[in-house]
Amino acid sequence: MRVEAACATGSAAIFSAYTAVSSGYVDLALAIGVEKMREVDTSTAIELMGRAGSYLWEFENFGLTFPGYYALYATAYMNRYGATEEDLALVAVKNHRYGAMNPLAQFQKEITVEDVLSSHVIAWPLKLYDCSPITDGSAAVVLASEDKVKELKIDTPVWIGGIASSSGTGTLSYRNDFIGLDAAVKASRIAYKMAGVEVKDVDVAEVHDCFTIAELLAYEDLGFCSRGEGYKMVREGQTEIGGEKPVNIDGGLKAKGHPIGATGVSMIVELTKQLREEVKPRSRQAPMKNYVGLAHNIGGTGHYAFITILKR
């Protein structure tokens, strides 16, 4: 079965596998995410991804691609809350630092705030180092029923406690504001309720940082902080290991890479390793208190949102 949800395709595959198992239709399912993006030139890749937005109106008439879409959110956010380009850069610096520890990351080199600020502008205020790369990659997750887990004698199972999806308008001009993604807010609240957990219970999170502003919006959409407080979390180091809510400590889309169809699955792979405390090197292991992880995977600019909560 092939599924499609733009950048959230991997999570859509997991959602499909989950519903097949939980309904009793199958007792074992394999969710695979894969993308080869580097076989075409950059312009072609950007155009093809841009078709996931409002193709006939915003893409054809105004030339909007996803850096432009997220630049609209970045400028609105900065104007309302006082965040700066340096705050966006701190997200990139954090994620590259963890990417440098991850042998599977596309970028394994640390960067500085000055590196980000001096990189060339893609769609102001987003610069090259504010943007996730074009990536080849794949990931796979096996989902099984409780009976199958017992039969296979899996000694460290990680369970899907909650999984939810929502969607937003295909045309951004229909949206009320540009300071958050309503689809992510709605999906997260459904997933929290389904899993029987609260925000404070989440030990580690993977969020969809396709652009640095997207990570800041995710903090707020998920309820990690109040609206307009996301940039303060990254300033204070609260989303690093040792902080209140470690986020994207595998490098995120920004440094690990963003192979469109594989990203959502790779988030679940990373969280499974975190909850099993199997991450190598150990310097990338988040401390576990409740053994709860959250994956936030966005398609387009909130056109789709999938939230998955894992428990061990």
Cβ–Cβ < 8 Å for 205, 243: no
Q: Which of 7, 131, 210, 225 is catalytic?
A: 7
258 catalytic? Reply is yes
Cβ–Cβ < 8 Å for 102, 108: yes
Q: How far apart are CA 285 and CA 63, in angstroms?
A: 42
Q: How far apart are CA 169 and CA 211, in angstroms?
A: 20
Q: Across the strands, what pairs with 7?
A: 5
Cβ–Cβ < 8 Å for 139, 260: no
Cβ–Cβ < 8 Å for 113, 93: yes
Measure Cα distances from 5 to 167, 191, 304 in Å: 10, 18, 7
Entry field: residues in the chain:
312
Cβ–Cβ < 8 Å for 257, 133: yes
210 catalytic? Reply is no
Using the structure block, give the residue that is written with the tokens 């909650």: 162
Cβ–Cβ < 8 Å for 122, 130: yes
Q: Which of 96, 258, 296, 303 is catalytic?
A: 258
Q: Which residues are catalytic?
A: 7, 258
